[in-house]
Amino acid sequence: MHVLTWVLREHGIRTVHPEWADLRGLKHPPRLLPQRIAKVLELYQSSELLFVHRDAEGEPPAVRRGEILDAVTQAAGALGTQPPAVCVVPVRMQEAWFLMDEAAIRTAADNPRGRQPLDLPARHQIEQLPNPKHVLHELLKEASGYRGRRRSSFRATARVHRVAELTVTFEPLRSLTAFVRLEQDVQRVIAEMGLTTP
């Protein structure tokens, strides 16, 4: 959500009230994507813009985008309503988008002044990493400065959200194809909605 809010603000949408549609707390959460989107549209009826995230994870991003757009159309047909939708499809996993800000990683690991070297991947390699989630978790563990038992008990998964929250700018992501596509889609939707950018 921090990435998406940043993109919207970059394109002139100053007032953003993001809500993450977490359906896991429902008694019978829907499993299929069209049903999940339909439930989101039912529960968040005042939403003006829908972002649907799916990691590509080995599939061509175009395939995932097609799945999302088909699911949105099915869900909208069932409910008779369809807010604009933007596909969010990182090439592998969303964690790849949080591998560029060393200061954010160190701070999220509760060791902002740490001196141990962090082997962040080069920008041009990020979308080719087979498991960016693992890379980010290992970077967080290394940044913590812990060794031995403390390192093995360090909960890196709980820190990923903090990395996104602490990242000052996502501008470096503009070198990634998936992010460029996301930003283009946001610009198109903003124009279609008639929202002006300064």
Reply yes or no on whether the pLDDT at 196 is more than 70: no
Q: Categorize the per-residue pLDDT at 76 as very low, low, confident or very high, splitting at 50, 70 and 90.
A: confident
Distance separating alpha carbons of residues 151 and 145, to the nearest angstrom: 8
State residue 184's pLDDT score: 96
Reply yes or no on whether the pLDDT at 81 is more than 80: no
Residues 6+ apart with CB under 8 A from 67: 33, 54
> Could you tell me the pTM of the whole model?
0.87
Distance separating alpha carbons of residues 136 and 125, to the nearest angstrom: 14
pLDDT tens, residue by residue, 18-72: 999 989 999 999 999 999 999 998 898 888 899 999 988 888 999 999 999 999 9
Reply yes or no on whether the pLDDT at 198 is more than 70: no
pLDDT tens, residue by residue, 92-118: 889 999 999 999 999 999 999 999 999
